[in-house]
Structures are given as C-alpha cells and as structure tokens.
C-alpha cells in the first residue's frame, strides 16, 4: 500500500496509508475500536473500495482488478473470523476437507469420496492444530478454541499464501487463546504462510507477532518490531482523537 485511501461508499476510513508486508511475516494489527483495523485487514481480499493510492497484493493490482483475478487472489488468501465460519452439522474432517474444494469436485465432496492423499493432507492439517482426535466429531460439539483451530486447519487446506485472522482469539478464554496464537505462529513458521491478525489483546500481539502495526483513526501510527513497542507508544496508539 502506498499513499492508500480506502473506505466504504463515499466514506474514507484509512487515509494515506503506507504498508508493506514481506512474505512469511507474522503481523499483529492493534488499535482502538473503530480505528480501521478490520478495514485494513479485509482490504487484502480486495473487498474494500480504493479511493486513492497504490495497492498491490501478491502481484495483483487492486486498483483495477478484474473479477477473474479477484477470484485467483482470494484462492490464495485464507480468512479466519471470531465467529469461526465453520459448517456446524458436519464433522471436523469434512470441514477441513471443504477447504480443499479447489482440488476436490463438489460431487465427490458431497458423497465424501475422498482420496488417500486428500485424507493424508487433512490429517497433517488437523495434527498441526491438534484436533485429530476429534476428527469425527461434529463442529457444534466442540469448544470455541477447538472450533477456531478447525477454522485454521480448513484455511490451511486451501494452501493459502496469506492468512488473515480478524480477532481470532477475542471470544476465547486465556488458555484457549494462547493455544490458538501458538498454532497461528506454528503455521506461520512451518509453512511460511504470511499471517496478519487483528488483535484486541496487546499482550498476544507482543508475545506472538514479529511485527506490530498500530492503527488510530484511519492512520498507521506505529509499524515496527514487537519488542520496540513501549508503553508510551501504546498510549499513542490507543489515544482517542
Ligand atoms: N461495511 C461497512 N460500511 C460502512 N462503514 C463501515 C463498514 N465497516 C466498517 N465501517 C466503518 O469503518 C470504520 C472502521 O471500522 P473497522 O471495523 O475497520 O474498525 P476496527 O478498528 O476493526 O474496530 P473494532 O475493533 O471495533 O472491530 C468505522 O467507523 C466503521 O463504522
């Protein structure tokens, strides 16, 4: 992003933002409510209106991207929400495999006719998020933390280059939240997937992310290594204008 102004309809939300992400980074976005964190995060999927400036994601120019390329971009970007976005009535395994739909034709997916290599891959992703022992359970039988882990495994199944996590742990108790953050870091380090996460808890951003981006009132007011975030800078990020 260079000098980028983004928003909704006629309302500019992020103004003149410069933001560059290197492949394989783990970035935490922090800032007060309404600052524009979700707008910044979701803009990576090409879903937010560009008013001005330069915006490239994975070699796609988002200023005038064609529908076909938008689909290609979105295939490479996994999104995890606070609300888990899983299919409740089907099993953990089926949810994870549904992330591979690019490879598995819908007809085969409906009758659950999975190939050995697909099951092997699904197991690898379930192992990394530590949910394999619940693979046959329906998702509505799982705890919040377990569901979030399934959502990560499903995102991984699509072999994305980028994972966007919008407040992935804000609905979880501290122990489950830490486990999910650890898994996101493991995913980032094991597969080299770039992870960008909006985080309400500053401590998690400091502990797990390599880099922190502080947003306040539509501006990036901090962008540096996590260890360089001092109390004073935190105050600046969270000051209401
Ligand atoms: N779909 C939308 N249409 C119009 N305005 C929106 C939309 N989504 C968000 N906004 C506005 O954009 C601004 C930034 O919202 P955003 O959700 O990006 O902030 P945030 O920092 O993620 O906040 P929070 O931490 O509360 O989730 C807010 O003023 C909000 O009202």
Domain boundaries, the chain: 2-76+160-238
Q: Would you put residue 31 in left (φ > 0), alpha (ψ -120 to 50) or beta? A: left
- pLDDT: which is higher, 110 or 100: 100
Q: Which residue has the tokens 């971009």?
A: 73
What ipTM was reported for this prediction?
A: 0.96
Length of the chain: 241
Closest CA to 81 of 138, 164, 25: 164
- 47 touches ligand 1 (CB under 6 Å): no
- Report, at the CATH architecture level, how domain 2-76+160-238 is classified: 3-Layer(aba) Sandwich (3.40)
Tell me how far apart the alpha carbons of residues 21 and 201 are, in angstroms, rounded to a whole number: 21
**Band of residue 212 on the pLDDT scale cut at 50, 70, 90:** very high
Q: Is the pLDDT of residue 178 over 80?
A: yes
Nearest CA to ligand 1 atom 28: 34
Tell me how far apart the alpha carbons of residues 2 and 16 are, in angstroms, rounded to a whole number: 7
- 14 touches ligand 1 (CB under 6 Å): no
Q: Which residue has the tokens 């964190």?
A: 37
Nearest CA to ligand 1 atom 8: 39
pLDDT tens digits for range 19-77? 999 999 999 999 999 999 999 999 999 989 999 999 999 989 998 889 999 999 999 99
- 15 touches ligand 1 (CB under 6 Å): no
Q: Is the pLDDT of residue 85 over 90?
A: no
**Band of residue 233 on the pLDDT scale cut at 50, 70, 90:** very high
- 39 touches ligand 1 (CB under 6 Å): yes
């Amino acid at each position: 992003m260079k000098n980028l102004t983004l928003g909704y309809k006629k309302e500019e939300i992020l103004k003149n933002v410069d933001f560059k992400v290197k492949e394989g980074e783990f970035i935490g976005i922090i800032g007060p409510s309404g600052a524009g964190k979700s707008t910044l995060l979701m803009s990576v999927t090409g879903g937010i209106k560009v008013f001005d400036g330069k915006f490239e994601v994975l070699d796609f120019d988002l200023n005038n991207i064609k529908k076909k390329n938008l689909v290609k971009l979105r295939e490479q970007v996994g999104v995890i929400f606070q609300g888990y976005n899983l299919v409740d009535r089907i099993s953990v395994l089926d949810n994870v495999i549904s992330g591979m739909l690019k490879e598995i034709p819908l007809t085969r997916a409906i009758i659950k006719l999975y190939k050995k290599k697909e099951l092997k891959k699904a197991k690898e992703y379930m192992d990394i998020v530590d949910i394999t022992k619940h693979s046959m359970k329906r998702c509505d039988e799982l705890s919040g933390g377990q569901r979030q882990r399934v959502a990560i495994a499903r995102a991984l199944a699509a072999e994305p280059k980028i994972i966007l996590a919008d407040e992935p742990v804000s609905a979880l108790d501290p122990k489950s939240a830490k486990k999910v953050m650890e898994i996101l870091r493991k995913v980032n380090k094991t597969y080299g997937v770039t992870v960008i996460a909006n985080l309400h808890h500053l401590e998690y951003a400091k502990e797990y992310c390599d880099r922190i981006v502080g947003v306040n009132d539509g501006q990036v007011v901090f962008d540096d290594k996590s260890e360089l975030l001092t109390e004073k800078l935190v105050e600046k990020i969270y000051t209401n204008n």
